[in-house]
Amino acid sequence: MREAVEGVEWPGGADVCVALTFDLDADVGVGWRRLEERLTSLSEARFGATRGVPRILDFLERMDLRATFYVPGEVADMHTDLVKAIVAAGHAIGHHGHVHLYPDRATATEQRAEIEAGLEALDRCVRVRPLGYRCPGWELTPYTLGLLDEFRFRWDSSCMGDDRPYVERHGSASLLELPVHWSLDDWVYFIFTRDGGGTMLGPDALKSTWLLEFESALAERRMVTYTMHPEAMGRGYRMRILEQLVEEFRARGNVWFATHEQVTDLIDARAGAEGQPNGGR
């Protein structure tokens, strides 16, 4: 059962809401312990931390943008200063597992450990208690959704049941969903691996798709979330695409670039004003 959150008035009279989100998978996303004998694959993953994030932070500051970074707990352990820099720059931090286990391939015990260890690591390393979650590998399970409810998370960003914010429900668990889609994820355009191949499309494929989706969101006055990975989007020529896209967005309308936390605050405040307990969920 799903209900869309409709008719949200964006702050400042904005016509559309854009959320730029980055999944900081780095060494952990590829399972660095399994890659200790494969230095090339491991080095590409680490590029996201060494080059991607600094470039992205410079870009966000220069363009006066706030973004949401989903960070696995072990990445916070391994790259603590980098994650501290993200927090210090005013960006939102979301939970992205601990060692980036895919919930649908993990036992219930492992799923619980991913949530608990990720929370502990982000608290220990950067003193952040994330209130939003993005599922590694984008296959949320009923058990993990229940854990998000149990640990009082306020939003999830892993499902695709609408292109507007909506309430994702399963059994007695429910959570505000800030939806994603594979076509709005840089991974499918840019990542090539020796094991799995890939498309490695030219820059125009991503740019034209993301711009058309923005135009649709603008016409419908809705929100759109773009998902990026520092090891993918953080390459030099791809950052040029991202900058061109932001300029194109701004030329077409009054855009509210918001973190997922800001959007959740707005939606929950509106639900509260309408007298719906717990944001209507």
Q: Is 27 in the site for Zn ion (CB under 5 A)?
A: no
Decide: 18 and 223 in contact? Cβ < 8 Å: yes
Among 23, 27, 163, 185, binds Zn ion (CB under 5 A): 23
Decide: 51 and 23 in contact? Cβ < 8 Å: no
Six token digits for residue 157 = 């960003």
Task: Supply the minimum distance, in Å, between the C-beta of residue 192 and Zn ion.
Answer: 17
Task: Supply the minimum distance, in Å, between the C-beta of residue 47 and Zn ion.
Answer: 15
Q: Is 48 in the site for Zn ion (CB under 5 A)?
A: no
For Zn ion, the closer CB: 134 or 154 = 134
Residue-level length of the chain: 281
- DSSP character string of 151-185: TT--EE----S-SS-EEEEETTEEEEE----GGGB
For Zn ion, the closer CB: 230 or 279 = 230
Q: Rounded to 5 degrees, what are φ and ψ at 30?
A: -95, 0
Q: Which residues pair with 167 in a beta bridge?
A: 3, 176
Task: Supply the minimum distance, in Å, between the C-beta of residue 135 and Zn ion.
Answer: 9
For Zn ion, the closer CB: 168 or 231 = 231
Binding part of the chain for Zn ion, among 28-36, 106-114, 141-149, 162-170 by CB under 5 A, reads 28-36
- Gyration radius from the chain CA atoms: 18
Q: Applying CB under 5 A, what is the total number of residues that bind Zn ion?
A: 4
Separation between Cα atoms, residue 178 and residue 180, nearest integer Å: 7
Six token digits for residue 278 = 């717990």
Binding part of the chain for Zn ion, among 17-25, 75-83, 186-194, 230-238 by CB under 5 A, reads 17-25
DSSP 8-state symbol, 51: I
Task: Supply the minimum distance, in Å, between the C-beta of residue 13 and Zn ion.
Answer: 35
Binding part of the chain for Zn ion, among 16-24, 140-148, 166-174, 231-239 by CB under 5 A, reads 16-24
Among 73, 118, 136, 165, binds Zn ion (CB under 5 A): 136
Q: Is 25 in the site for Zn ion (CB under 5 A)?
A: yes
Separation between Cα atoms, residue 95 and residue 227, nearest integer Å: 14
Task: Supply the minimum distance, in Å, between the C-beta of residue 28 and Zn ion.
Answer: 8
Give the residues lining the site for Zn ion (CB under 5 A): 23, 25, 29, 136
